Structure 1
Amino acid sequence: MKNRFISLCFSLLVALSLTAQDFPRSDKRGNLIPDYSYCGYKASNEQIPWVDVKAFVPHIQGDATAYIQAAIDYVSSLPMDASGFRGAVQLDRGQFQIDGGLQIAASGVVLRGSGSGEDGTELLGAGQDRTTLIRVAGRLDRMWTPKQAASKAVKVGDMFICVPNANKYQVDQTIMISRWATKEWIDQMDMNDFGGESSYIGWKVGDEKRPSDVEIHWERQILAVSGDTLFLDAPLTCAMTTEEAFVQVQTWPGRIAQSAVENMRLTSTYDNENPKDENHRWMAIVLDNGEDLWVRRVQFRHFAGSAVFVTDHVRRVTVEDCQSFAPVSEIGGSRRYTFHTMGGQCLFQRLYAEQGFHDFGTGRLAAGPNAFVQCQADWSHHMSGAIDAWATGLLFDGFNGEGVLLSFGNRGQDNMGAGWTAANSMMWNCSAAMLANPTPPTANNWAYGAWGQMQGRFESADSFVKPQSLFYAQLAARNAATKDDVRKLMPIDTQSASNPPIDKAQRFVAAARRPAMRLVDWIDSLQVKEPLALVAQSKENTQWMKQYGTKKCAKKNTSLMTLNQGILTKDDAILSGRSQGIVWWNGSLKARYLANSSRPHITRWAPGLTGTGFTDDLNEMTDMMKATDHLITNHHYGLWYDRRRDDHERIRRMDGYVWAPFYEQPFARSGQGIAYDGLSKYDLTKWNVWYWNRLKQYADLADEKGLVLYHQHFFQHNIIEAGAHWADSPWRSANNINDMGFPEPVPYAVDKRVYMSEHFYDVSHEGRRAMYRNYIRKSLETFADNGSVIHFISEEYTGPTHFVAFWLDVIAEWEAETGKDAKVALSCTKDVQDAILADENRAKTVDIIDIKYWNPTMTGFNAPPGGVHLAPRQYGRLRSENFNVKAEVKARSMSERMYEVVSDYRQRFPEKAVLLSVGGDTWAALMGGASLCSLPSGLPQAFKEDVVKMRPMENKDVMQIGKVGVGYVCYAPGAKSMTLQLNGDKKKYQACWINPRNGKPVGETFSIKAAS
């Protein structure tokens, strides 16, 4: 086996040495130009196979999502054959309307249309949501053994790695090889920061607890073990010292393989009146958690995000003979990334794209090799090439970009600190308006045959080199059976035309009488010459239809949270658990941040990426909440949309190259003008459909699973404190096309701080009042049928009484019109709260009193006033005695004081629930009658049901609740004994002590009755 690998490497060098006189065999460190041909389905060792049809889907009218998914699920349930395939689903000719999304979640399943042309199959992604049209994805359940350091350094192009105790590894095992980024290497790269205060986006080293921002991972299969050497199935594309290279055995039971999408047209509907509409489909096809996948002969139209998006959990993919036309979106970051990979060993060949942003590119740390072979980008709005940090082993082979930059360069701060984007990468026979091929420290990049303006290192500039394709030359050198595959490339005439003989000149003249062949036409011609075979509908391939519609969904728990005599309950029991907020403004797609700082979020959007820190899977998120004893998600719109604003600058951005992940806003963009973030201005009368759909989906899950959503209508943080808070706000006049009447330019205090609260809370302005009213009603309408949603005026609200009155009036108006009853919480400063509760008419609209922006003290209250234009933390920085309000206090401890305050509100407003969001002793709050307390998860269900029936009782020694015939609960922090008041209850009870920290019984139960 070892000799086999030596001969392969040697034949590769011999073949390449024939292609160009100056082709380097290695650099002074022994690094080779990698063999890029190990990309694609089965590493291009096998042709993409034909898979037999097992389910035929006849055309139907209306939404076909469930219809087609049933066929996919049927084939997914079939056994795999010896080649690893279950079968293909063939769609009839015609247009199928897809209101949802399709998913292939099993290995060996192919979704095939009847052609991508006008008379073929079209899947029309309908509606205004962003649901991915087709997702081919397994489960992310991979595991690794502990890391083991390599025993010898690794050179670029090596197809082996040396480790101690290599005999512990086995042939056919999959290993993950990681390259740790050391401080010394980052210093060499000069990537610690990008000037100014940009160190927070500079490259960071890793440690045992946190990965580096630039840690690369290659997946490789072991082909042989000899001595201390593991021989691999593909080359490594970055040099590593023994301090940087680590090996782990990987298992991944949920990963899928050999599934595909082919031979169809995918189209998204969109708003024809808005050329930058984003209330429609973003991703046509996403590949995730898979290997040996393919997409071929698919035409894409009008998607906002990507035609094909490959995540970093994917390897060995072929995407070929596809075309993307007329994308519809804003011109900016994370849009129009037409053919994009973050994975490894991906082959993109014979592809055409127009009007994209990054039409062909690699994402962050794409572990090579990856190859783009004969791809063309027309009328692109930005660059193709290496888009984000340190993609290694990238080949652009025969790329043609009309007016496009093809770049392997250092992008500096772009993409949140991309810095150096490509290493050990190759441009071969490429043409573009500008080609940038600089040499990064510690690595190489190469370019042979180039047409266009050039920047960096180029060989054979303004010339063609032979062979036409480096990829296919390398492939033929190691696998002679593939030598004819190059014939599918569009031929390029590279003969000399400068001084031709007369007969050749006449041939050139004849050829000039018609337009040159374009790649888009060549792709069409291949499908005509070599069409995929189609089958007719038959009894055998429609067996799946017998099962369609017969599956019954399990009945879900749809009982709603209700307000019952001032207590919030579900299924006749109190609800308890912890509360989680969302991230207000910061975020990153870098591994270091994701491993330590990311939190669940409802309306965070990371196109193509699913999981915590990206776009959360809400079903998984709510399951995790249940598992970790979280009850509440406190949600508001993001402080700003774009991660560039995380720098807290308040300047206007020079372009729309926004950074993901995005904290979405409630409103749609108008397609008109330019907002401060460089995208178009908002239209406050139109909704961001995805934003509201996500909130609605969470609320539905909360109803089902016994969770709660705090829906904050506004977010005061936008209008007070740092100027950046207001810079990108949709409410700001500079950022919308509506009449809001806010002053522009913004009168920042000392040219830095924003005090927009007086303007914002002034509803005398007719346009502003109308926009607020419309928005409040949208919040109410969205959750009209949900019981788990509590409406709050604003996170951090310290505003005036009149704005709360306006808010409540709009709610009362809506409730009267609709007959619906929203759960409305009054959460504000104490003076505003008490003023509203004293207003009989408006108090009727309030269902819940939330103690959050003031707190009890042993002398009364710490109660900052409302409407004085200070934020909660600004109050906190002032001396607390400025806000002390004296009151009669009987309590002997802060726990008793909490009990006293909650109990007081419950007695004065018995029909209203009370929340103690300010923090403190939650057991004391429960005893006072508060709802949604964060109690220990270990409490028995019977306890939660009985407590609903109990009420506070007079007891001078302890805090006590109870009900005759039901039971009693007493709480006395620190006490070793207590006296119960049973009020003549003659029933004999079994009692026990409860640990207040975990809710579990302590010691044996004992009997108790009156006078005992």
Structure 2
Amino acid sequence: MKNRFISLCFSLLVALSLTAQNFPRSDKRGNLIPDYSYCGYKASNEQIPWVDVKAFVPHIQGDATSYIQAAIDYVSSLPMDASGFRGAVQLDRGQFQIDGGLQISASGVVLRGSGSGEDGTELLGAGQDRTTLIRIGGRLDRMWTPKQAASKAVKVGDMFICVPNANKYQVDQTIMISRWATKEWIDQMDMNDFGGESSYIGWKVGDEKRPSDVEIHWERQILAISGDTLFLDAPLTCAMTTEEAFVQVQTWPGRIAQSAVENMRLTSTYDTENPKDENHRWMAIVLDNGEDLWVRRVQFRHFAGSAVFVTDHVRRVTVEDCQSFAPVSEIGGSRRYTFHTMGGQCLFQRLYAEQGFHDFGTGRLAAGPNAFVQCQADWSHHMSGAIDAWATGLLFDGFNGEGVLLSFGNRGQDNMGAGWTAANSMMWNCSAAMLANPTPPTANNWAYGAWGQMQGRFESADSFVKPQSLFYAQLAARNAATKDEVRKLMPVDTQSASNPPIDKAQRFVAAARRPAMKLVDWIDSLQVKEPLALVAQSKENTQWMKHYSAKPTAKKYSLMTLNEGVLTKDNAILSGRSQGVVWWNGSLKARYLANSSRPHITRWAPGLTGTGFTDDLNEMTDMMKATDHLITNHHYGLWYDRRRDDHERIRRMDGYVWAPFYEQPFARSGQGIAYDGLSKYDLTKWNVWYWNRLKQYADLADEKGLVLYHQHFFQHNIIEAGAHWADSPWRSANNINDMGFPEPVPYAVDKRVYMSEHFYDVSHEGRRAMYRNYIRKSLETFADNGSVIHFISEEYTGPAHFVAFWLDVIAEWEAETGKDAKVALSCTKDVQDAILADENRAKTVDIIDIKYWNPTMTGFNAPPGGVHLAPRQYGRLRSANFNVKAEVKARSMSERMYEVVSDYRQRFPEKAVLLSVGGDTWAALMGGASL
């Protein structure tokens, strides 16, 4: 430990003596260029090891998900050896069909194929769902001690931090060092807002309850303690004052280490008739809640999202010698982020990507160092570099981008207020169509050796600098055993060819007779020269097959039933609280997530799992049980893209949509351009992920005694603010179908939408057909679930004829299928009573929901239906008097609630009654209400 500590202290100074001309040791404030070489598996102090095979998986036909997962689980159950490994799962040659997803959730487990070429191993992600093909990660159960402020300022490149009471810390402890953003610093950065009404996406300070939007966290191990100084295992990549720097001891029992995927091809199926299809796999490999992980020698094809996605819960990762080809998706935000990290100390080296969006990049607040060494992007649709806010200590070393922008710039509003994206970052011997390297306030960025159009600060422009790789020069200065890794870099000839002697000119001529080697070819050649040793099937490594069962036992649960007008399960009345889903707003920023995020079924944040991202539905339903929540009231999102949260009605100029996404029921067509910049919807084709998520929740609800209110429509789209209609899939401008809605939209006073008359008019044949098809899809999805109640629409104040149409479609489906859906009548009182008076249609209604009217002591507050006002618009017009006189015997509102519920129960004893408008729930229960 002592020798290692001394080596770390002096490595940066040695490295600086090896690098380019005019290379600064430090700035006037003492900030160093960071030592970027502390990235990668084991911080590049050790090479990636060979792990012995403990399970061999022979090839099989059909879905191999559970087959391979059984082998992974078997190896995961083995004890770890002295090096921290349990063993490798070796896959046979051939194509393995994966209908689900594979997960490595234990330390020391390697999933290895038999090569990434045509004659190797291919995992084919089949089906139309978005399930991540391979996830490596443990549990997010980390804990910290209270924060302690640093006692001295921190400079860029420091490998130590000073704290009071340093004797309370211990060598080998893991600490988290945080940089809090102060108002003064945000003011200096000029990131409060981006003009107009954009302050809501500007950078915000934190407090004791809420983190800042730009709070950075580094994980470091304590190597030594001297006085008040904690010496660290890697440099810090951002300067901090004592008001900004804080230290906590971190423990993380559920985090895994030393697991990997290597030596295979990962492919997603897709709809070959739609070049922008998204009903298929998005993420090939996601790394989460882990450290010292690796992915190597993997080829990726046709994924919509990422080849390798590293979350901010990961550090010390190596991704090397991988290639990504032919992604299939829309061209827009959160798609084709091919090799992407939000974590720290990640090394991406010798990687090739084509047709991506952000092929190589860092996400929000990626705590450096992070390094991209000898990576190439061809035919990219957007930029590589720092993609989101304030990634620090980022190195692009030997990057080559054909027609690509490589940027460390200020992105302003992009990505929901990314602003300044990179600090204390380096471009070294990079080539691109455009290189942007501006200097942010309060920090530095550097560029040495650059080819292309340039914007910002560059040294040795249009020249190569030595050494070829800064990363490996810095690594060699502190670790001599790097020769094997350096020779894996593709050679770059930097000698002068302007005025060569005759013999050298002849050599140049001979070399020009064949195409130059590309990185993609170099990666292939490495695998031929140095193949990973393969292990054939043997008796010892097929023990796992004894634990494999091809047919899991089907589970059956009792279902919620309607008996004599009461909803019950297991003969017990169901009770509990209700929760709705977020209608339209959201953010991936920590401040929002800490305070405003709520569970959701169909919110999509590619690569990210948890509340505010893509919810883990099993965890979500467990939490509902723990907090006495019974019901989730779900409808499709008001709009898909977070850019529309600004409530503007304008057409977006591109498809750079912002996550998280509130998904819609329909698939994109791949044709035309909708108002959000992505392709138009096809209302005859389904967003498979959306419906699968609803089905998964319904299955869990059956199992755990929960309920789903499935709202078929969402009236908020067609009334009030014009933005509500702007991106709606139903809008004619946004789909390829015949809906017959007027375009351009006739907004009232150029800002309000009144599309309800058109929307509820089912005399238009095309519109009627689309609605009917959609309603039937809603019924078919939950045909075998007992926990689902169907509603016509959230906020429904529309006319009776649309309710009649809706009920007729349901009745038709029930007659055809023999199934019995649970149908709730939830609308204004006049429409509700008219439907209940219609004997034929009343038969289809199982539940009466009192929500859009309420009893009063003189009768009812009952706004009429079909007059094109939303519930809250009615609420603002109370002076118009929607009171309906009625005979009232009750002496209090509690008695009045009882009276109303009891009246409906007595008149319609076979139907359940819900009191969703609020009031005395005990009185409602005594009156016979359900749920």
Normalising by structure 2, report the TM-score: 0.99
Q: How far does the alpha carbon of each residue in 1:56-102 deviate from its partner, in whole angstroms, 9 at most, with x for none?
A: 00000000000000000000000000000000000000000000000
Alignment deviations for residues 620-677 of structure 1 (CA, whole Å, 9 cap, x no partner)? 0000000000000000000000000000000000000000000000000000000000
SS in 1 for 2:806: helix
CA distance in 1 between partners of 2:668 and 2:484 (Å): 50
Call closer, same or farther: CA 1:375–1:915 in 2, change over 3 Å: same
Post-superposition shift, 1:14? 3.3
Retained in 2: the 8 A contact 1:130–1:282? yes
Deviation at 1:3, TM superposition (A): 8.9
2:198 corresponds to which residue?
198
Displacement, 1:446?
0.2
Q: Quick one: structure 1 residues 591 and 340, their matched pair in 2 at CA, closer, same or farther if it must change by over 3 Å?
A: same
Give the equivalent residue in structure 2 for 1:494: 494
Structure 1 residue 8: Cα displacement: 3.8
8 A Cα contact 2:826 2:850, kept in partner: yes
- Residues 125, 336 of structure 1: alpha-carbon distance in 2 compared, 3 angstrom cutoff: same
In 1, Cα distance between the equivalents of 2:736 and 2:406? 36
Give the CA deviation at 1:120.
0.1
Determine helix, strand or coil for the equivalent of 1:481: coil
Deviation of 1:836 after TM superposition, in Å, equals 0.2
C-alpha separation in 2, matches of 1:458 and 1:749 = 53
**Counterpart Cα distance in 1 of 2:755 and 2:357:** 36
CA contact (8 A) 2:5 2:223 kept: no
Q: Is the 8 A contact 1:585 1:640 kept in 2?
A: yes
Flag the 1:376–1:244 CA change in 2: closer, same or farther, 3 A. Answer: same
Q: Give how far 1:6 is off.
A: 6.1
Compare 898-907 and 544-553 and name the one that shifted more: 544-553
CA offsets 1:944-979 (integer angstroms, 9 cap, x no match): xxxxxxxxxxxxxxxxxxxxxxxxxxxxxxxxxxxx
Could you report, residue by residue, the CA deviation over 1:677-703 in whole angstroms, capped at 9, with x for unpaired residues?
A: 000000000000000000000000000
Shift, 1:19, TM fit: 1.9
Cα shift at 1:12: 2.3
Aligned residues between the structures: 930
State how far apart, in whole Å, the 1-side matches of 2:647 and 2:819 are: 41
Contact 1:2 1:226 in 2 (8 A): no
Distance 1:4 1:328, change over 3 A: closer
Q: Is the 8 A contact 1:17 1:25 kept in 2?
A: no
Asked if the contact 1:638–1:664 (Cα under 8 Å) also holds between the matched residues in 2, the reply is yes
Structure 1 pair 484–119 and aligned structure 2 pair: CA distance change class (3 A): closer
Shift of 1:7: 5.8
Taking a change above 3 Å as real, the CA distance of residues 356 and 463 of structure 1, as seen in their structure-2 partners, is same
Matched-pair contact (CA < 8 Å) for 1:408–1:438: yes
The separation in 2 between residues aligned to 1:53 and 1:921, in whole angstroms, is 65
Match of 1:577 in 2: 576
CA contact (8 A) 2:566 2:930 kept: no
Deviations 1:228-272 (A, max 9, x none): 000000000000000000000000000000000000000000000
Distance 1:5 1:255 in 2: 25
2-structure distance, mates of 1:766, 1:51: 64
String of CA shifts for 1:476-499, please: whole Å, max 9, x gaps: 001112244211000000000000
Q: What is the distance in 1 between the residues matched to 2:165 and 2:402?
A: 53
Give 1:543 deviation, angstroms: 0.5
SS at match of 2:375: strand
Shift of residue 5, structure 1, vs aligned partner = 4.7
CA distance in 2, matches of 1:552, 1:324: 35
Structure 2 counterpart SS, 1:243:
coil
Contact 1:266 1:299 in 2 (8 A): yes
Deviation at 1:166, TM superposition (A): 0.4
Contact kept in structure 2, 1:289 and 1:313, CA below 8 Å = yes
Instruction: Give the C-alpha shift of residue 10 in structure 1.
Output: 3.6
Superimposed CA distance per residue, residues 28-70 of structure 1 (whole angstroms, 9 cap, x where no aligned partner): 0000000000000000000000000000000000000000000
Structure 1 residues 798-853: Cα deviation after superposition (integer angstroms, max 9, x where no partner): 00000000000000000000000000000000000000000000000000000000
Displacement of 1:881 in angstroms is 5.5
User: 1:763 Cα deviation (Å)?
Assistant: 0.2
- The equivalent of 1:306 in structure 2 is 306
Q: Distance in 2 between matches of 1:6 and 1:543?
A: 47
Task: Determine the C-alpha separation between the residues in 2 that align with 1:28 and 1:2.
Answer: 31
SS in 2 for 1:526: helix
- Kindly indicate whether the alpha-carbon contact (under 8 Å) linking 2:39 and 2:346 is maintained by their aligned counterparts in 1: yes
> Would the aligned equivalents of 1:93 and 1:121 in 2 still touch at CA under 8 Å?
yes
| Alpha-carbon separation, structure 2, partners of 1:683 and 1:250 | 49
Q: Secondary structure at the match of 1:488?
A: coil
Residue 506 of structure 2 corresponds to which residue in structure 1? 506
- Paired with 1:18 and 1:536, the residues of 2 have a C-alpha distance of 46
What is the CA–CA distance in structure 2 between the aligned matches of 1:86 and 1:226, rounded to whole Å? 37
Hey, what does 2:32 align to over in structure 1? Answer: 32
Distance 1:210-1:135 versus aligned 2 partners, 3 A rule? same
**Alpha carbons 1:472, 1:483 under 8 Å: kept:** no
For residue 602 of structure 1, give the secondary structure of its aligned residue in structure 2.
Answer: coil
Following the alignment from structure 2 to structure 1, what is the Cα–Cα distance between the partners of residues 96 and 688?
Answer: 23
The residue that corresponds to 1:783 in the other structure is: 782
| 1:173 paired residue number | 173
Contact 1:622 1:702 survives alignment (8 Å) = yes
- CA distance in structure 2 between the partners assigned to 1:424 and 1:262 by the alignment: 32
- The structure, 1 or 2, with the larger RCO (C-alpha pairs under 8 Å, 6+ apart) is 2
- Paired with 1:525 and 1:795, the residues of 2 have a C-alpha distance of 59
Q: Quote how far apart the aligned CAs of 1:554 are.
A: 8.9
Retained in 1: the 8 A contact 2:567–2:930? no
Measured after TM superposition, the shift of residue 13 of structure 1 is 1.9
State the 1:2 CA deviation: 8.0
Partner of 1:1001: none
Q: Distance in 2 between matches of 1:545 and 1:626?
A: 37
Distance 1:3 1:155, change over 3 A: farther
CA distance in 2, matches of 1:10, 1:254: 34
Secondary structure, aligned partner of 2:487: helix
Residue in 1 aligned with 2:925?
A: 926
Compute the displacement of 1:412 (Å): 0.2
For 2:336 and 2:4, the matched residues in 1 are separated by: 44
8 Å contact from structure 2 (residues 280, 304) kept in 1: yes
CA RMSD of aligned residues (A): 2.0
1:322-366 CA distance string (max 9 Å, x none): 000000000000000000000000000000000000000000000
Q: Structure 1: how far apart are the matches of 2:170 and 2:763?
A: 76
> Do 2:18 and 2:473's aligned partners in 1 also have CA atoms closer than 8 Å?
no
Query: d(CA) in 1 for partners of 2:890 and 2:60?
Result: 71
Report if the CA contact (8 A) 2:66-2:550 is conserved: no
1:432 alignment partner in structure 2: 432
The question of 1:833 aligning with 2:832 is answered yes
Deviation of 1:550 (Å): 8.1
Partner of 2:823: 824
Report the Cα distance in structure 1 between the residues aligned to 2:552 and 2:483, rounded to whole angstroms. 53
Q: Return the alpha-carbon distance in structure 2 between the equivalents of residues 657 and 21 of structure 1.
A: 40
Assess, with a 3 A threshold, how the Cα gap between structure 1 residues 102 and 787 changes in structure 2: closer, same or farther.
Answer: same
Q: Secondary structure at the match of 1:111?
A: strand
Q: Secondary structure at the match of 2:523?
A: helix
- In structure 2, what is the equivalent of residue 263 of structure 1? 263
Deviations 1:770-806 (A, max 9, x none): 0000000000000000000000000000000000000
Deviations 1:430-473 (A, max 9, x none): 00000000000000000000000000000000000000000000
* Structure 1 residue 16, shift from structure 2 partner: 1.7
Per-residue CA deviations over 1:758-779 (Å, capped at 9, x if unaligned) read: 0000000000000000000000
Q: Does the CA contact (< 8 Å) of 1:12 and 1:477 recur in 2?
A: yes
3-state SS in 1 of match to 2:730: coil
Q: Quote the Cα distance in structure 1 between the aligned partners of 2:18 and 2:542.
A: 54
**Residues 1:639 and 2:638 aligned together:** yes
Contact 1:826/1:846, CA 8 A, preserved across alignment = yes
Secondary structure at the residue paired with 1:538? coil
Partner Cα distance (2:814, 2:392) in 1? 59
Matched, 1:842 2:841: yes
- Does structure 2 conserve the Cα–Cα contact (< 8 Å) formed by 1:439 and 1:445? yes
SS of 1:209 mapped into structure 2 = coil
Q: Do the aligned residues in 1 keep the contact of 2:80 with 2:86 (CA within 8 Å)? A: yes
Contact 1:171 1:224 in 2 (8 A): yes
Structure 1 residues 854-865: aligned runs within 5 Å: 854-865=853-864
Between the aligned partners of 1:124 and 1:678, the Cα distance in structure 2 is: 30
**Percent of aligned pairs sharing the same letter:** 98
- Contact persistence 1:862–1:880 (CA under 8 A): no
